[in-house]
Structures are given as structure tokens and as C-alpha cells.
């Protein structure tokens, strides 16, 4: 039972992470200029990867695959 609760929380956190990544990308696309750090896109991609990993771990928790 606890795995399902923590899995649901993990999925929620992963979805929120993907939402914030999308918001940051849109902000960067609208207001980015020459002074924007070139490593910003690497940070965005790593946050997307982190969000997907958290969702997958949450799904594994819900399905009791630990």
C-alpha cells in the first residue's frame, strides 16, 4: 500500500517537473537573447529527463515492481 502512495506522489512530482520545464523553455524562447547562457538548454533537457525518470519510478511503485 505504501508503494502505491509513494508511486502516486512520484508521478505527481514528475508531472510538475515536466510542467515547470515547459514553462522555463517558453520563457527562454520568448525572452532569450545573446546574454542567455549556452548551457541553459542542457539544464532544460536534464530536468525533462529527471521528470520522466520520476514518473517511471512512480509507475514502478504503483505496479509493485520493486
Number of domains observed in the structure of the chain: 1
Contact 64, 1 (CB under 8 A): no
Quote the domain boundaries for residue 54.
Answer: 2-62
- Confidence label for 65 from pLDDT (cuts 50, 70 and 90): confident
Pick the more confident residue, 2 or 17.
17
* 15-57: pLDDT as tens digits: 999 999 999 999 999 998 888 888 998 999 999 999 999 999 9
Phi-psi region of 64 (alpha: psi -120 to 50; beta: other; left: phi over 0): left
Q: What's the pLDDT score for residue 32?
A: 87
pLDDT at residue 36, rounded to an integer: 87
| The three cell numbers locating residue 48 | 525533462
Amino acid at each position: 500500500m505504501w508503494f502505491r502512495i509513494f508511486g502516486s506522489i512520484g508521478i505527481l512530482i514528475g508531472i510538475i517537473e515536466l510542467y515547470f520545464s515547459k514553462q522555463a523553455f517558453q520563457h527562454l524562447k520568448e525572452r532569450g537573447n545573446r546574454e542567455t547562457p549556452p548551457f541553459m538548454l542542457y539544464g532544460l533537457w536534464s530536468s525533462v529527463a529527471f521528470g520522466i525518470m520520476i514518473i517511471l519510478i512512480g509507475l514502478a511503485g504503483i505496479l509493485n515492481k520493486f
